[in-house]
C-alpha cells in the first residue's frame, strides 16, 4: 500500500527501513523521503513506523517543504 503518494513510498519500504535500523519519523524522512513534501502522510507513516517497532514521536513538522 502506498503511504506517501508524493514520493511513492510503500508500507513495505517503511517496514524494511525499520528492520534495517530506522526508529523515528526523522529516520524515515532522511532515508526514504516520506512526509517531506505535503505532509499528508505523516500520521499514516507514523502509524506504520510504530507498528513496525519504531518510535512514534512528535517530529511531524521536520523536513516538510512548503511551496508557494
Q: Where residue 12 sits, what CATH number does that domain have?
A: 1.10.10.1100
Would you state the pLDDT for residue 53? 82
Asked if residue 61 is part of any domain, the answer here is no
Asked if residue 41 is part of any domain, the answer here is yes
Asked if residue 68 is part of any domain, the answer here is no
Asked if residue 42 is part of any domain, the answer here is yes
Would you state the pLDDT for residue 9? 97
Q: Give the residue from 38, 26, 31 showing the smallest Cα distance to 13.
A: 31
Higher pLDDT, 29 or 60: 29
pTM here is 0.76
Asked if residue 22 is part of any domain, the answer here is yes
Asked if residue 18 is part of any domain, the answer here is yes
Distance CA 14, CA 3 (A): 9
The domain containing residue 40 runs over which residues?
2-51
Number of structural domains (the chain) is 1
Asked if residue 59 is part of any domain, the answer here is no
Amino acid at each position: 500500500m502506498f503511504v506517501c503518494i508524493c514520493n511513492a513510498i510503500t508500507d513495505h519500504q517503511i517496514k524494511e527501513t525499520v528492520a534495517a535500523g530506522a526508529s523515528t519519523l526523522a529516520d524515515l524522512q532522511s532515508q526514504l523521503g516520506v512526509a517531506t513534501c505535503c505532509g499528508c502522510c505523516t500520521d499514516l507513516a507514523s502509524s506504520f513506523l510504530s507498528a513496525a517497532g519504531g518510535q512514534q514521536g512528535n517530529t511531524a513538522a521536520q523536513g516538510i517543504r512548503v511551496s508557494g
